[in-house]
Amino acid sequence: MMKWLHTMASSAWFYRFSGKMIPWLMGIFGVLFLVGLYGGLVAAPADYQQGDAFRIIYIHVPAAWMSLFIYIVMAVYGFIALVWRIKLAEVLLISSAPIGAAFTFLALVTGSLWGKPMWGTWWSWDARLTSELLLLFLYWGVIGLYAAIEDKRTASRAVSILTLIGVVNIPIIHYSVEWWNTLHQGSSVTLTDKPSMATEMLIPLLVMATAFKVYYAISLLIRTRAELVEREPNSKWLKQVIEENNHE
């Protein structure tokens, strides 16, 4: 198994493999995204309570799911990088961080845009939004620590540990904010309990969620390729790649 893991994780193999994969993933994402948009904006009936404002859910909820999903995936990369010292896992981890931060930011802004019609204020210390905000700081912490250490191999190991600490703290932060929210505000209608959704409302949501996951794969592969080229500029496999590009 180790032999396979190391060949699979060799930068050369990954660079070529991702190069072939990206166009396909783009196609899949395009289809899914358009179907999701159509379903969310046109096909799904307006919500009886919130009217059309609820359509923001088709961006907010998938983005919120993605922000959590990416951090957990980063923790898995961190664990692999620490235990088996696979360089590719380190690169995947640090390439995922900006994407996760982008989704968290997106979830935050759309959350407050969605909250405005319901509560009349942009920010209402809702439990989910507050823990989403703290998750954003965790992402910025990961990116900040990586940028602060100049030797990239040491930086990756430090970031792997920080991500593992973060992933242990995410449930703790989430439940402490829930506790704090119910303690002080009582349970008004919060974003936590999504209204039970009719199926034709739910399907576009799942389609969008899958589209975002495919999107994550695309952005991750592009960022990883860029990072691999930056880390190993004068490696043999990169020479061949450049020669092939020159011939095209």
Partner 1 sequence: MSEFLYMGGYAFHVWTSYALAFVVLLINILGPSLRHKKKLQRACDIQQLNEIQSNDT
Partner 2 sequence: MILQAKNITCLRGHRQLFTDLSFTVNSGEVLLVEGENGSGKSTLLRIVSGLRRPDAGEVVWNEQAITAIAADYSQQMVWVSHRNGINDSLTAKENIQLSISLSKSAVLNINQILERVGLKGYANTPVRQFSAGMKRRLALSRLLTQQASLWILDEPQGALDKAGIELLDNLITEHVANNGMVIMSSHHDVQFNNLTVKTCRL
Partner 3 sequence: MNKMTPFHDVYSLISSEFLVAFRHRYEALNPLLFFVLVCLLFPLGIGPSPQLLNTIAPGIIWAAALLAILMSLSNVFRTEYDDGRLELMVLANHSLVLLTTIKLLAHWCLNVLPLILLSPIIASALGMSFDVQITLILSLLLGTPVLLLVGTTVSTLTLVIPQNGMLLALLVLPLYVPVLIFGTSAVNATAAGMSAAGPLYVLAALCVLSLTLSPFAIVSAIKIGVSQ
Q: Which residue from 40, 33, 88, 63 is spatially nearest to 221, judged by alpha carbons?
A: 88
CB contact at 8 A, 74 and 97: yes
CB contact at 8 A, 118 and 57: no
DSSP count for the chain of H helices, then E strands: 8, 0
- Determine the size of the site formed for partner 3 (CB under 8 A): 29
Binds partner 2 (CB under 8 A): choice among 20, 48, 151, 236: 151
CB contact at 8 A, 102 and 71: no
Size (the chain), residues: 248
- Which tokens belong to 237? 């496999």
- Within positions 37 to 56, which residues make up the interface with partner 1, using CB under 8 A? 37, 41-42, 46, 51-53, 55-56
| CB closer to partner 1 out of 57 and 86 | 57
**Of 48-56, 57-65, 69-77, 225-233, which segment contacts partner 2 by CB under 8 A?**
225-233
Q: Which residue has the tokens 């396909």?
A: 24
Binds partner 3 (CB under 8 A): choice among 3, 42, 151, 236: 151
CB contact at 8 A, 90 and 77: yes
Binding mask 90-129 for partner 3 (x = CB under 8 A): ----------------------------------------
- Within positions 76 to 95, which residues make up the interface with partner 2, using CB under 8 A? 85
Backbone angles phi, psi at 191, to 5 degrees: -70, -15
Binding site for partner 2 (CB under 8 A): 85, 150-153, 231-234
Binding site for partner 1 (CB under 8 A): 37, 41-42, 46, 51-53, 55-56, 59-60, 63, 98-99, 102-103, 105-106, 109-110, 113-114, 116-117, 215, 218-219, 222-223, 225-226, 229-230, 233-234, 238-239, 242, 245
